[in-house]
Chains A and B, each alone.
Chain A
Amino acid sequence: MALSARLLALRRSPVLLKLPPYLSALCILVGLGWLLILPLNEYSRQTYISENAILPGQVHTYFGGSEHNVFRAYRQEVYGLSERSDHERIAGLGNVMREQGLKVANQSYSWNVAGEEISGTNVYGLLKGPRADATEAMVLIAAWRNFEGDINYSGVALALTMARYFKRWSIWSKDILILISEDSTYGPEAWVSAYHTTSITPTANRNISSLPIKAGALQGAVALDYPAGPWGQRFDKLDIAYDGINGALPNLDLFNTAVQVASSQMGIGCSLHNLKDHSDSYKDRLKTISKGLITQSVGHATGPHSAFMPYHVDAITLKTIGDGWHDEMTLGRTTESLFRSINNLLEHLHQSFFFYVLMNTNRFVSIGNYLPAAMIIAGSFSISALALWVQSGKPTPSEGAKPMSPGEKRKQPEMAVVKDGKNVALVPKEELEVIERKMFIPAAVVLGVHLAGFIPLYALNHATRSNIPYTFITLTAATLILPQYLARHILSNLPPQHIFIIQSLSLLLLGATLSTLSTLNFSLAFLLGLLCSPLSFVRPLPSLRFSLEQTTRYVSTDDAAGIAANLAVVAPVSALFVAVSPPVVLWVVKGMFFGSGGVEGMLVEMARGWVAQGVWTGAVVWGVWWPAWVVAASVLWSGCWRRPADEV
């Protein structure tokens, strides 16, 4: 009783009521700071192999000798095929595998995105594990064109050589599928989706043929990316790509096995995100983390392996980088050892982490340590939302807040007597009043804006390539005008309470969505949280309008000066706010990463991701971020349109 009474009294504490904005700011700083301390030794861990069955690097590898001659021949063969037509190439690759005694099949696919067709044909072979019972399988992928679009000569040749070499071993407990996909993104996507479906019904924008040959449940996939030409090129390091669609990650054990096999057994250095020189310093670790954050938050494919992740198949891509002294045989032995390790698995990879942030090939942070960063940032919105909710329940400050004119008599606030047991207190009546919150209009506004978010999502994913830039420019303009419109015609006419509730609801939704999202795609939630952080502090700006009576007669210099002063506040705030709007941020991202391709290239990529691969980053941008921004911007500018007479 005493405790609850004290807590109730706390509700009215002026300190507490002023606290939330500071608390929100603190949350954002702590969230950011949290990420910055992760690279420290005290907060990260050395990677380790968790699944005992894997035994990485424990087997002797025999790939070598005459296999090198065969490899060179296959590489010449692949080079020869690259100069033929697509049809001949697919037949040729199939023939090589057929000669080795594999079961070979083709799969054609096509998608229709942005008025363009993405199509191709995958060719793949099944190596039946001699003593396997067809219940499990592993995949060796060599995309014909790698992620950069270069022909993967040596990668394909190596996969073919490995297939021939693997065929002679009787130790395989799982079947091995050799997949030579047309490209690195959509080919594997078409293949893996058909693998898990009976038959994909063709639609207007998708036509994937089913797979004639299948094996059992996929246990792991390794992609080779080695685009060295017919005369070979030695490489320096192996870059391991691990990001999946929508930020899903493969089991850390698979990644660790690859690193362990490559670095400990074969002596090949490994790298992440193309960072060749990693000195394991704080700076390099942070750099790796940030690169990882960006690729994960985008959620798009980063290699042939990415498509496998949504199907709970762990996969990685081994990509050769740099100029060094390792040759294809070393990569072959690495692959052999890696497949032997996957072959050892008795259970599906489950033992190690699925949620991690890597800062070096042998250092990571697990979910328990990094998740609070995004959660705290998401929490800052919830705190603001609660504060606004509380504020909306309080009566509008009466004229007492205004500066008093000299002759005015100070009005005594009405007092009321409050009794609690034997205690009696005299409290201003204002404090005890409970204002009824009118929810309908605010809820309708917030809901309407959120529903409107589907319009850009639909427009951008259904426009043709030539129309996309115009669509986006229109969208940018609309995004900047819509809040003005809302502010002018709806929000500026609403009582302040409604504005508080609108903002509270919008922030509440944002906080809840971001904290949920952070468990699915940490990076996206974290970066979006940072980009949204100004939304917590939005309050209606000072008015830029003349008061009603004055405009009819003349403009007083006082007013003009006041407006000028207000403008000095409004302009920079508005500029800052426009800078963090979704379209503007996308323009900036385009400038940073898609320099040459233009905005069109980026948006087509996004549309492809949405249509072909089921990447939902776009949905988060237009369905979560955009409405939150629009609501906040409307609130921000609603003050400008308010007449000074009814200014708060």
Chain B
Amino acid sequence: MRLSTLLTLPAALLPLIYAKEQHSYTEHLHLKPLPDNSLYAGFTFTSTTPYTAYASNHFRYFPRSLAQILQYTHTAELHLRFALGRWDEESWGSRPRRGSREGGNGVELWAWMDADAEEGWSDLVNSLSGLFCASLNFVDSGKTTRPVLSFEPEGTLEELQETRNGTGELRLLHGMLPHEVVCTENLTPFLKLLPCKGKAGISSLLDGHKLFDANWQTMAVDVRPICSTGGDCILEIQQTVDMVLDIERSMRPRESPIPRPLPIKDITCDETKGYNGHDTCYPEGPGGEMGWSLSSVFGRPIRGSCALGGGEEEEGFDITLKVPSERTVEVISETAIPQSTSSGSRAYRLPKDANFDLDLPHQALESSSSGAFALEQPPLYASRQLTGHGAERGGMHTLLRNPHPYAQRIVYLESLPWFLRPYMHTLELSGAGGKMEKMFYTPLLDRQRGTHLELLIEIQPRSTVEITYDFEKAILRYTEYPPDANRGFDIPAAVIRVLPNNATQDQGQGRDYYLRTTSLLLPLPTPDFSMPYNVIILTSTVIALGFGSIFNLLVRSFVLVEEVPVGALAGVVWRLKDGVARVRGMLKGGGVGKEDDGGGVVKKGEVVVGGEVRKVNGGGGGGGKKDT
């Protein structure tokens, strides 16, 4: 028995050794200057672990804390998003990573879980809430939906199920928290999951001050299983941080971050204006590309690579910079940097133990070259607004615009809180080129479940589709209002999935494109909380005073002290005390005062003091200790 146990240990370790090369970690930074002096920075951190090692709690790069949560909650695939701000499609073009690593404003979470999903989901959100310092635990049944069309698993879940001999189907659950403000306390645990923990490698650029000063930023954690045909599965965690920084704002020194008006000599004036003068200056937009460097934008250079054993021989590059080839780029590093340059992008590998910085000086580029560097047009533009005013009704209005010369099919997902009650008969798809192919709708249940609405729509080439419906605002119970009730209630963003079609597949863009609208603020009828409070306080005080004194007068009977009958218990106690006093008097040897008035019930103290005083006076020979 003991022997067999001893033998199983190496046996269990054996696959781990074989799978060593499956423990891997890579990181990558993608930099791309955008119009309007913005800079896109996309950080990707990928680590993998063999499924067998995961199952036996053996981890190298895969974060243990997260893995244990996944194991406990039987989660097969997990997607977690923290997002802030808006991606400006008109200025910045298509979304990075085709929107696949983005979330709605606030926090968004979706996962494929084992059959017993309800309980697992609750465990999952609570554990993640603790791990990421976010209020994920507020994703309750009212905020959870089960989308049908909007999400596809990224991993190979079916093979995984076979490997695990799992039974039953995996279920997708999806929840959003639009009101959650993403901040530094979410970044720190995020970095803690990385092997280098933000101390080295590209993650050393991630500083809360800069990240959360960005115009748009999103952090994502994606865990997915990848199984090969042979049945070997690995589990991959991809952590990404995408952001768009305002170069000018990020380069402001931290000690004086206030954007004071520039001295007039630093402003380029448009001298063609007739009125241009010493005190009149029509400001001209800065010409050319703004100069920046990694250390000035992110506040520090990259502190060497996060080379973890075995990463040496990999030929991957850590940093890709996408700028036109005419742009001057200086690499500042103590050691030689392997790099490759192709048209439109340059790649660099980080030095092992030295700082690394990129410097792009201010440069006026030929307009022709920037034209070639045009932005990619997004597949779809979407905006969603609330309409109407007043406390009773409202309307939802979504605009979807297909700018392309081919038709597109999209999935439009809305998960609405229960207090927004849509009138489904008013749901209308208007505009020239829209056709609703399918609709999935789960009606709401008050306080238990929100509305889930999923539409499969085909949008004709170069056309705009409007989705409108009216809704009613529910009146909440007064305890259901949050402390800032008058702010309004956040309505989660709509998730739009643009399905790939023949036209896009020809262009090599086979994958789905995701975009999310902005979240909305819904004002609900709000009572004046202070008024009932004042009224309650006032009336309670009046009632307490009035009722208290009147009740007191009513139930109390007023008698003279002498008339109060001696209760049974009081009599016994008094008699006992009397006895004790007698005995004590006898022991002291003095004469005991005989004139004790045993009949009248007066206060205890008076009796005793009276008795003693009398005793002292009467006894004469008694101890004079109380005699004063």
A641 CB to nearest B CB, Å = 50
A546 CB to nearest B CB, Å = 62
Contact yes or no, B262 A66, CB < 8 A: yes
Residues of A within 8 A of B466 (CB): 198
In chain B, positions 31-88 with a C-beta closer than 8 Å to chain A are 36, 84-86, 88
Residues of A within 8 A of B395 (CB): 198
A74 and B273 alpha carbons, distance in the complex (Å) = 11
In chain B, positions 229-271 with a C-beta closer than 8 Å to chain A are 246, 248-249, 258-264, 266-267, 269
B497 CB to nearest A CB, Å = 21
Is B184's beta carbon under 8 Å from chain A? no
Is B423's beta carbon under 8 Å from chain A? no
Residues of A within 8 A of B523 (CB): 217, 312, 348
Report the stretch among B111-119, B379-387, B562-570 that lies at the interface: B379-387
Is A112's beta carbon under 8 Å from chain B? no
Given the known inter-chain contacts A130-B246, A133-B518, please indicate yes or no for A350 contacting B275, CB distance below 8 A: no
Contact yes or no, A76 B275, CB < 8 A: yes
Given the known inter-chain contacts A99-B285, A198-B466, please indicate yes or no for A69 contacting B280, CB distance below 8 A: yes
Residues of A within 8 A of B36 (CB): 101
In chain B, positions 96-138 with a C-beta closer than 8 Å to chain A are 105-106
Residues of B within 8 A of A214 (CB): 383, 385
Contact yes or no, B281 A134, CB < 8 A: no
Is B412's beta carbon under 8 Å from chain A? no
Is B162's beta carbon under 8 Å from chain A? no
Contact yes or no, A73 B385, CB < 8 A: no
Contact pattern, B 454-472, Cβ under 8 Å of A = 1, otherwise 0: 0000000000001010000
Contact yes or no, B488 A66, CB < 8 A: no
Contact yes or no, B276 A73, CB < 8 A: yes
Contact of B249 among A63, A73, A128, A170 (CB under 8 A): A170
Which bracket fits the contact residues of B? 35 or more
With both beta carbons as reference points, the residue of chain A lying nearest to B390 in the complex is identified as: A312
A336 CB to nearest B CB, Å = 11
Contact pattern, B 273-296, Cβ under 8 Å of A = 1, otherwise 0: 101100111110100000000000
Contact yes or no, B273 A73, CB < 8 A: yes
Contact yes or no, B264 A66, CB < 8 A: yes
Residues of A within 8 A of B84 (CB): 131, 133
A130 and B88 alpha carbons, distance in the complex (Å) = 11
Is A135's beta carbon under 8 Å from chain B? yes
Q: How many interface residues does A have (CB within 8 Å)?
A: 43
Contact of A70 among B258, B259, B283 (CB under 8 A): B283
Residues of B within 8 A of A99 (CB): 285
Is A593's beta carbon under 8 Å from chain B? no
Contact yes or no, B213 A66, CB < 8 A: no
Residues of A within 8 A of B389 (CB): 196, 310-312
A72 and B486 alpha carbons, distance in the complex (Å) = 41
Is A573's beta carbon under 8 Å from chain B? no
A77 and B270 alpha carbons, distance in the complex (Å) = 12
Contact yes or no, A348 B487, CB < 8 A: yes
Residues of A within 8 A of B385 (CB): 214
Given the known inter-chain contacts A346-B484, A348-B488, please indicate yes or no for A133 contacting B85, CB distance below 8 A: yes
Residue among B215, B279, B280 facing the most chain A CB atoms (10 A cut-off): B280
Contact pattern, B 486-525, Cβ under 8 Å of A = 1, otherwise 0: 1110100000000000000000000000000011110100
A103 and B105 alpha carbons, distance in the complex (Å) = 21
With both beta carbons as reference points, the residue of chain A lying nearest to B181 in the complex is identified as: A133
A348 and B266 alpha carbons, distance in the complex (Å) = 40
Residues of A within 8 A of B258 (CB): 62
Contact of A133 among B86, B276, B383, B484 (CB under 8 A): B86
Residues of B within 8 A of A101 (CB): 36
Contact yes or no, B281 A170, CB < 8 A: no
Contact pattern, A 118-161, Cβ under 8 Å of B = 1, otherwise 0: 00000000001011111110000000000000000000000000
Residues of A within 8 A of B281 (CB): 66, 69-70, 72-73
Is B418's beta carbon under 8 Å from chain A? no
Residue among B248, B283, B523 facing the most chain A CB atoms (10 A cut-off): B283
Residues of B within 8 A of A77 (CB): 273, 282
Extra contacts, 12 of them, besides A67-B261, A198-B466, A312-B389 (Cβ < 8 A), are A65-B263, A66-B262, A66-B263, A68-B279, A69-B264, A69-B267, A73-B275, A128-B86, A130-B215, A164-B283, A214-B385, A350-B486
Q: List 19 A-B contacts (CB under 8 A).
A: A64-B261, A65-B261, A66-B267, A68-B279, A69-B280, A72-B280, A77-B273, A130-B249, A133-B519, A135-B490, A135-B519, A136-B521, A168-B259, A197-B387, A346-B487, A347-B486, A348-B486, A348-B523, A350-B486
In the complex, the 7 A-B pairs of residues with the closest C-beta atoms, listed nearest first: A134-B518, A347-B486, A73-B282, A168-B259, A135-B521, A65-B261, A76-B275
